[in-house]
C-alpha cells in the first residue's frame, strides 16, 4: 500500500504519530512517506491511505474533502484531547477558535477511521466517530540495548518537557523536592537536569541551585534521547486534568526504553502502566516527591531493579510490535461512508 502521514509538526507529535509509524510500516513492505507538507502533486502520488494529524484549518480541510472525493482512504490521527483544554495550556486559545474546532469535528466525520494513542482519548473520540482505533506510540528496539551505569559518581535527576508543559512543574511538592535533592549531601552530589527549557525558564519555575542544568528545546530526536539518557532518575509530574488523562504516557515509554526509574503523578495514563514500587513510582501526595527522590538517591540497587523491570516491559512498545497495529488500523474494512 502507498501510505502518507501528513504530520502536524516536526516535534514529538510528528515523530511518534508520523515519521516512526511510516518507517515501521515500510518494514512490513508498504510504500510510506511522512511530512508536514503534502506533495503538490498528491493526486498523482497513488496514495491509498493518508493519515492526517489534527486537520482543522480551512485550507487543509478543503484538501481533506478533495482527497475523500479522490477515493483515498482518510485516517484522522489525534494524540491529544483538543476538546478539553484547560486555560493554562498555551494551545487552549488556539483551539477555542470555533473555525478550528468545527473544522476538526467536520474532518473527523469525513474520515474513514480515527486513530489515537490512548484508550482515554479513544473514549472521547468515540462520541463523534464510530471507528476509533488505539495505536500506542513506539520506539526503535535499539534503545533497549543501551548500557546503563546505575551507580554513577554524580546522580542526575531529570525532567523533560517544553514551554507548553512547564506548568506541570507547579504540581505541589515537585519543585521543592527537586531543590532539596540538589542540596542533598550524597557523596558525589546530585544534579538536577532540565531538558526542553532554558535556564531562565527553569529558574522562573522555581528551580534553583548551583547544580541546576538546563538545555533548551532539542529539535533533533536523537539528540533529545541522548540528553535524557543521562538521567539516573526521571520525574514526570502532571496535574489531574481531562487533557492530561487522555495523553499517552510518553515519559514512561522513553524512560522504560532507557532503563531509567520514573517517578510520575498518580493519574491516568501513568496509573495504567506503572505498578508502584515494582516498575516505577506513583505520587499521590506532595511530600512523596521528596521522599522518593531521596530513597532512589540513596539506593543504587533500587534504581537498577526498578529501571530494569521497566525496561523488560518496554519490549511491547518497540516499533516492531506497534507497526502491526498501525497496519491493522489502516487496512481494516471501511464502513460505508456517510454523506458529507
Going from N- to C-terminal start, the domains of the chain cover 2-138+318-331, 141-317
CATH superfamily of 2-138+318-331: Glycogen Phosphorylase B; (3.40.50.2000)
Query: Residue 116 above 80 pLDDT?
Result: yes
Mean pLDDT value across the chain: 94
Exposed, middle or buried, 241 (CB in 10 Å: 0-12/13-18/19+)?
Answer: middle
The HSE-up count of residue 62 (CA atoms within 13 Å, CB side) is 2
204: left (phi over 0), alpha (psi -120 to 50) or beta: alpha
The mean pLDDT value for 287-299 works out to: 97
Q: Which of 4-8, 143-147, 321-325 has the lowest mean pLDDT?
A: 143-147
- Mean pLDDT throughout 103-132? 96
Q: What is the 3-state secondary structure (H, E, C) of 161-180?
A: CCCCCHHHHHCCCHHHHHHH
Q: Which CATH architecture has domain 141-317?
A: 3-Layer(aba) Sandwich (3.40)
pLDDT over 90, % of the chain:
84
Coil, strand, or helix at residue 191?
A: strand
Q: What pLDDT score does 337 carry?
A: 45
Mean pLDDT of 316-334: 91
**What is the rounded CA–CA span in Å between residue 68 and residue 298?**
59
Give residue 340's pLDDT.
36
Question: Is pLDDT of 182 > 80?
Answer: yes
Phi and psi at 181, nearest 5°, equal -70, -30
pLDDT confidence bin for 3, thresholds 50/70/90: very high
pLDDT confidence bin for 77, thresholds 50/70/90: very high
Least confidently predicted of 68-72, 81-85, 109-113, 234-238 = 81-85
Q: Which of 76-90, 158-172, 263-277 has the lowest mean pLDDT?
A: 76-90
Q: Using the predicted structure, report yes or no on whether residue 164 has a pLDDT greater than 90.
A: no
pLDDT at 155 over 90: yes
Q: Give per-residue burial for 210-234: e unless 16+ CB within 10 Å, then b.
A: ebbebbbebeebeebbebbbebbbb
Backbone angles phi, psi at 185, to 5 degrees: -85, 40
Task: Evaluate whether 2-138+318-331 and 141-317 have a shared fold.
Answer: yes
Question: Is the distance from CB of 30 to CB of 23 less than 8 angstroms?
Answer: no
- pTM score of the predicted model: 0.93
The end-to-end CA distance of the chain, in Å, is: 26
Q: What is the mean pLDDT of residues 166-195?
A: 95
Is residue 25's pLDDT more than 80? yes
The per-residue pLDDT for 339 is 38
Residue 287 in contact with residue 271, Cβ under 8 Å? Answer: no
pLDDT of residue 335: 65
d(CA 56, CA 312): 39
pLDDT tens readout for residues 227-240: 999 999 999 999 99
Amino acid at each position: 500500500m502507498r501510505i502518507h502521514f501528513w504530520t502536524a509538526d516536526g516535534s514529538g507529535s510528528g515523530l511518534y504519530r508520523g515519521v516512526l509509524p511510516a518507517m515501521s510500516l515500510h518494514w512490513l513492505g508498504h510504500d510510506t512517506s511522512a511530512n508536514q507538507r503534502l506533495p503538490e502533486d498528491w493526486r498523482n502520488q497513488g496514495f491509498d491511505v493518508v493519515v492526517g494529524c489534527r486537520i482543522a484549518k480551512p485550507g487543509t480541510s478543503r484538501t481533506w474533502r478533495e482527497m475523500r472525493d479522490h477515493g483515498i482512504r482518510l485516517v484522522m490521527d489525534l494524540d491529544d484531547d483538543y476538546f478539553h483544554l484547560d486555560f493554562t495550556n498555551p494551545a487552549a486559545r488556539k483551539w477555542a477558535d470555533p473555525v478550528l474546532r468545527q473544522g476538526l469535528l467536520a474532518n473527523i466525520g469525513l474520515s474513514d477511521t480515527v486513530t489515537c494513542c490512548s484508550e482515554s482519548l479513544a473514549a472521547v473520540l468515540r462520541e463523534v466517530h464510530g471507528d476509533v482505533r488505539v495505536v500506542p506510540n513506539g520506539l526503535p528496539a535499539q534503545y533497549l540495548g543501551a548500557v546503563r551505569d546505575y551507580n554513577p559518581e554524580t546522580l542526575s535527576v531529570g525532567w523533560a518537557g517544553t514551554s507548553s508543559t512547564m506548568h506541570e512543574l507547579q504540581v505541589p511538592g515537585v519543585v521543592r523536592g527537586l531543590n532539596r535533592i540538589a542540596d542533598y549531601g550524597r557523596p558525589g552530589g546530585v544534579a538536577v537536569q532540565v531538558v526542553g527549557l532554558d535556564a531562565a525558564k527553569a529558574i522562573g519555575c522555581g528551580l534553583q541551585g548551583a547544580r541546576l542544568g538546563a538545555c533548551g528545546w532539542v529539535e533533533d530526536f536523537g539528540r533529545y534521547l541522548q540528553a535524557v539518557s543521562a538521567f539516573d532518575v526521571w520525574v514526570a509530574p502532571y496535574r489531574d486534568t481531562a487533557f492530561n488523562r487522555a495523553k499517552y504516557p510518553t515519559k514512561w515509554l522513553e524512560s522504560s526504553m532507557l532503563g531509567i526509574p520514573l517517578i510520575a503523578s498518580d493519574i491516568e495514563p501513568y496509573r495504567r502502566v506503572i505498578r508502584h514500587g515494582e516498575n516505577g513510582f506513583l505520587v499521590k501526595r506532595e511530600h512523596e516527591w521528596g521522599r522518593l527522590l531521596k530513597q532512589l538517591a540513596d539506593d543504587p540497587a533500587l534504581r537498577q531493579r526498578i529501571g530494569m523491570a521497566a525496561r523488560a516491559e518496554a519490549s511491547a512498545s518497540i516499533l516492531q510490535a506497534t507497526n502491526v497495529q498501525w497496519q491493522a488500523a489502516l487496512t481494516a474494512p471501511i464502513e460505508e461512508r456517510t454523506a458529507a
